[in-house]
Amino acid sequence: HGAVTFEDVSFSYDSRQPALRNISFTIPKGATVALVGPSGGGKSTILRLLFRFYDVQSGRILVDGQDIRSVTQLSLRRNIGVVPQDTVLFNDTILYNIRYGDVHATDAMVYKAAKAAQIHDRVLGFPDGYDTRVGERGLRLSGGEKQRVAIARTILKNPPIILLDEATSALDTTTERQIQYALAEMTQDRTTLVVAHRLSTIVNADLILCIQDGQVVEMGTHEELIRIA
């Protein structure tokens, strides 16, 4: 589960220059891919097309050999988890925010699942205890805490493919490291596309895709790219 192929994909937001021009690449299932390159190059657009926030204007995107336009939105969302750069939470409890969208789950079910997945301390890991904070409201959380809730939500959903836009925002280094551990755990054995800013993320990726002016200008493992340079 989770192989991703872009076949000759182009996309323009408006009549000005295209954001992606005839991009082709294949990501084997389970691989972690770091999308790197200058701002405005097209990295986020790749994630948006894969999640069908927008549809390709030419070319195709395949997940496990199937054109994503032939798959229902529901099935696509079950297969692809997104951890956004800036998580917006509901002004409701952490549990509510974690189970958001799953109308059949109760707080008790979500709590139990979070414990079983060891999300309660390893991911959420609030210093003063998960148990005392699951009832806390989303709006009261800090940026780093919100991001952990978003990660917890995605882990519980257990999708084979994960998309994440790595925040460059000023998280303190301890929080940042904790979030990185949580992400590393989450992305194990899952196909992951990450818009990468941190060197550690780039170096640890199985594959690096350099995106510039809407094109793939380089692709390879970091050893391969160093050799080329």
Q: Does 72 bind ligand ADP (CB under 6 A)?
A: no
Q: Does 78 bind ligand ADP (CB under 6 A)?
A: yes
Q: Six-digit token pair at 119?
A: 């999300």
Measured CA to CA, the distance from residue 80 to residue 84 in angstroms comes to 12
Measured CA to CA, the distance from residue 34 to residue 216 in angstroms comes to 12
Q: Considering the complex, state which of residue 8 and residue 172 has its C-beta at the smaller distance from ligand ADP.
A: 8
Q: Six-digit token pair at 98?
A: 């974690």
Pairing of strands 58-63, 80-83: unpaired
Least CB distance to ligand ADP at residue 82 (A): 6
Instruction: Return the residues of window 82-101 that contact ligand ADP according to CB under 6 A.
Output: 100-101
Least CB distance to ligand ADP at residue 189 (A): 19
Q: Six-digit token pair at 18?
A: 């295209």
Binding-site member from 32, 45, 93, 187 for ligand ADP (CB under 6 A): 45
Contact call for residues 220 and 191 (beta carbons, < 8 A): no
Binding-site member from 77, 137, 197, 222 for ligand ADP (CB under 6 A): 77
Question: Which letter does DSSP use for residue 139 in this model?
Answer: G
Of 55-63, 116-124, 150-158, 175-183: span binding ligand ADP (CB under 6 A) = 150-158
Q: What is the spatial order of strands in the sheet that 215-220 belongs to?
A: 80-83, 161-165, 191-195, 32-36, 207-212, 215-220
Binding-site member from 4, 43, 141, 145 for ligand ADP (CB under 6 A): 43
**Binding interface with ligand ADP (CB under 6 A):** 13-14, 19, 37, 39-45, 74, 77-78, 100-102, 153-154, 157, 195, 211
